[in-house]
Structure 1
Amino acid sequence: MGDPDGRPRNDDGQYADRIPPEAVLEVFDERTDLGRPLTASDVMEAVDCSRRTAHNKLETLVDRGRLKTRKVGARSRVWWVPMERGTDHDHGDDGRPLAVANAIEEASLPGSGPTLEARRAALSAAYDYLAANPEAKKADFLRDVYHDHPAGYESAESWWNAIQPALKGLPGVDPPAERGHLWHFLGGD
């Protein structure tokens, strides 16, 4: 069967160069701001297709539950990847609130690679210790946390000098006032 456009067709008579809906999902995955909804024009540009094709692919993905859509004007519509609220989105893989998990991940600690990961684990253990013991002294951390999580430090003092500044910056942590000794835990949300 010849085609006036010269475009190849498959056995079902559909254009062989069809854009699969998954190619449109990739446009959503490649955004730098994953919360920003996209328009049909955004999709048209990214996959080099017509407005009708973009709309068809987007609606197919809505029908499959992969995207949501809504009108935003008389003739405008946006699409986005749904992210329902729930424990999976509010909490990290370890079950702690995302704010805490993110703060531990972004904490300024010396080292890289496995050393940095060990230091993040030590910071996490110090945070968990304070959460379980809402009033703790430096000596408590050194006695109860350092030995199980030395993170490459040979002395408890050098460990504390690295962990303590990062611990101060975590949500719910109330460090001692100047010349004070007690660390307090106010909650992790």
Structure 2
Amino acid sequence: MDETARDRTRDEHGQYADRIPPESVVDVFEAREDRARPLTASDVMDALDCSRRTAHNKLNALVERGTLDTRKVGARSRVWWVPIERPAGVGDESNRSDAVSTAIRTATLPGSGPTLEARREALSAAYDYLTEHPEATKADFLRDVYHDHTAGYESAEGWWNAIQPALKGLPGVDPPEERGHLWHFLGGD
């Protein structure tokens, strides 16, 4: 038996006592300067000086508790984040703030009259979608919003080319970095 194992304390069931409480992992998330940026298991490993397995075990336990959310982002990659709690009514246009309503109403979109109004409704639907799904890709918008709010566009690409520049300017919207894919909703205005 190595010296480290001999020095570790055991609980009442004879199992090694946990030296890294889950709260330490939560502290890693709270200590970030950019609270919108998800973390990887490597980020947690480095911060807590623990093994990859320990980091994964702690992160997954916090997901089960509802403290963290997770998403697979590649063939073998996963990220974790603290979910944003939305106030009741977020995504409900009747409870939308004046700032968001004004931003949608004054957004630069092509067209006039009923066409412009349909495009504002499409922008509103895209915004609502992002508030309900605080992490979304272009493909998500095209799959889940475009078909119900075509706004006179015959192609999804044409629709996206008009909607996404206006969506970037709405309160709480964090567009992807250059070459990035994930849009984030950071919360109310």
TM-score of the superposed pair, with normalisation by structure 1: 0.51
1:106 aligns with 2:94: no
| C-alpha distance in 2 between matches for 1:176 and 1:183 | 5
Q: Hey, what's the Cα distance between the residues in 1 that align with 2:174 and 2:97?
A: 17
Match of residue 75 from structure 2 = none
Q: Which residue number in structure 2 is paired with residue 132 of structure 1?
A: 132
Aligned position for 1:172: 172
**What CA distance in whole angstroms lies between the structure 1 residues aligned with 2:103 and 2:95?**
14
| Counterpart AA for 1:184 | H
Change (3 A) 1:141 1:93: closer
Equivalent residues, number: 98
SS at match of 1:142: helix
3-state secondary structure, aligned to 1:147? helix
2 CA distance for matches of 1:133 and 1:103?
A: 20
- 1:93/1:160 CA distance change after superposition, 3 Å: closer
Amino acid paired to 1:156 = A
Say if 1:172 and 1:186, in contact at 8 Å, map to a contact too.
yes
Structure-2 residue corresponding to 1:13: none
Whichever residue aligns with residue 141 of structure 2, its letter is F
SS of the equivalent of 2:184 reads strand
Classify 1:93/1:173 alpha carbon distance in 2 versus 1 (closer, same or farther; 3 Å). closer
Question: After the TM superposition, which parts of structure 1 deviate over 4 Å for at least 4 consecutive aligned residues?
Answer: none
Does residue 120 (structure 1) correspond to residue 120 (structure 2)? The answer is yes
Aligned to 1:43: none
Q: Report the Cα offset of residue 95 of structure 1.
A: 1.9
The percent identity for this pair of structures is 81
Counterpart Cα distance in 1 of 2:188 and 2:151: 23
Q: In structure 2, the residue corresponding to 1:177 is in which secondary structure? A: coil
* Cα distance change, pair 94–139 in 1 and its aligned pair in 2 (3 A): same
Which residue number in structure 2 is paired with residue 16 of structure 1? none
Question: 2: distance between equivalents of 1:106 and 1:169?
Answer: 11
Task: In structure 1, give the amino acid aligned to 2:106.
Answer: E
Partner SS, residue 117 of structure 1: helix
Distance 1:124 1:106 in 2: 12
Per-residue CA shift, 1:140-160, capped at 9, x if unaligned?
000000000000000000000
Deviation for aligned residue 1:93: 7.2
Please report the TM-score for the alignment, with normalisation by the length of structure 2. Answer: 0.51
CA separation of 1:180/1:131 partners in 2, compared to 1, >3 Å: closer, same or farther?
same
Matches within 5 A, 1:8-157: 94-157=94-157
Q: Which moved more, 1:93-102 or 1:103-112?
A: 93-102
Gaps of 5+ in 1: 1-91
Distance 1:159 1:131, change over 3 A: same
Note if contact 1:100-1:188 (Cα within 8 Å) is conserved in structure 2: no
Paired AA for residue 94 in structure 2: D
Structure 2 distance, partners of 1:136, 1:154, is 23
- Could you list the runs of 5+ residues in structure 2 that have no partner in the other structure? 1-91
Kept in 2: contact 1:167–1:173 (CA 8 A): yes
Question: What do the CA deviations read for 1:72-103 (whole angstroms, capped 9, x no partner)?
Answer: xxxxxxxxxxxxxxxxxxxx972200000000
Amino acid across the alignment from 2:97: P
How far did residue 188 of structure 1 move?
A: 2.6
